[in-house]
Amino acid sequence: MAITVKIDLGYEFNVKAKAAEVFELLSDVPTSVSHFPKVDQLVDLGGNSYRWEMEKVGTAQVNIQTVYACKYVSKWDAAKGQGTVKWTPVKGVGNALVSGSWDISDQKKHTAVALAIQGDIEVPLPGLMKMVVVPVVEGEFEKLVEKYIANLIKRFGGEA
């Protein structure tokens, strides 16, 4: 039996770096992921698809490892100074389905960045544990994403 944890996160922030620089880093999946905490490994599946293998969390007896794959598509409009990086789940890989997007836009004095993430994570624990497990998994995922954003903001010269 497994518990499904739904994730739906959205963040908006502004950075000092130029939009083209932000897009270049975020559209380079391995470079972008290098700023994400607790990634055990990122495996290139070809065709701009990658499998994320997160570090195991828990104890030696009870632990969870989230594994999922996404296909990435990036678009940049130099004339508008806008870009997107979107990802969709690769079905049949791991125990989660994750999708999302980065939206990047030049605001002249700074770059506006928006991140959206949706996902379903299957946790191999009995349904009786749902009330305990769901908030823990949601909270942990949120903390990881917030640390990722903080790492990116630092890389982009700070918030504007």
- Would you write out the chain's pLDDT as a tens digit for each of its 160 residues? 789 999 999 999 999 999 999 999 999 999 999 999 999 999 999 999 999 999 987 667 667 789 999 999 999 999 999 999 999 999 999 999 999 999 999 999 999 999 999 999 998 888 888 888 888 889 989 999 999 999 999 999 999 8
Q: Which residues contact 151 (CB under 8 A, 6 or more apart)?
A: 35, 36, 37
pLDDT at 17: 97
Tokens of 89: 């789940």
**Residue closest to 5 by CA, chosen among 146, 137, 97, 118:** 137
Residue 159 sits at φ, ψ, to 5 deg, of -75, 145
Please give the pLDDT value at position 32. Answer: 98
Give the per-residue pLDDT at 61.
64
Nearest to 56 by CA among 72, 40, 73: 40
Task: Report the b/e string of 78-101 with b at 16+ CB within 10 A.
Answer: eeebbbbbbbbbbeebbbbbbbbe
Question: Domain boundaries in the chain?
Answer: 3-155
Homologous superfamily (CATH) of 3-155 is: START domain (3.30.530.20)
Residue 26 tokens read as 């975020």
pTM for this entry = 0.93
Per DSSP, the chain holds a count of helices (H) and strands (E) of 3, 9
